Amino acid sequence: MRFCLCLPMLAVVSAFAADLHPSETLRGKLVLGDGKPPAVETAEHKLVTLDGDEPTHKVLADRRLNGFEVEARGCFTAPDRFLIDPIHTRGLLVRQDGKLRMVTYWCDTCSIRSFTPGPCVCCQRETTLDLRDPDKL
């Protein structure tokens, strides 16, 4: 019975916690430099360092994305540091041909899609970058 009473209280606390860090959108060009953390160069030519969960870090380490225009949803943890929302929320999108695309990876051999770069979970061949319409996944 106590457990049932705690659930509504937990929901209220979660709602207030979400309001403390409202989601923001950061736009700019992805900059992946040797030995430097991933960053976005904004329209004002300001570099903002990116951070995120482990799968997002793997995507941000993919050199094939260097120079793409990106939209990242999350929150600023400092004036020059941005924490991207977890990968399952589609917090990182890239712009290709004027349209926002979700970063995915595809194995042509096994027809398996993944959301982080690396070898296919089945055949172990390297997956290819496959930018997809986020509304069609």
- pTM above the 0.75 mark? yes
Could you say which residues of the chain have pLDDT below 70? 1-21
* pLDDT at position 21: 62
Q: What is the pLDDT of residues 7-29, one digit of tens each?
A: 555 555 555 554 556 789 999 99
- Can you tell me which residue has the tokens 């870090």? 57
| Region of 35 on the Ramachandran plot (φ > 0 left; ψ -120 to 50 alpha; else beta) | left
E-assigned strands of 10-127? 24-31, 39-41, 47-51, 69-78, 81-84, 92-96, 99-107, 112-114
Rounded Cα distance, 48 and 42, in Å: 8
Classify residue 21 by its DSSP letter: S
* pLDDT at position 96: 96
The domains found in the chain, sorted by start residue, are 22-136 (2.40.50)
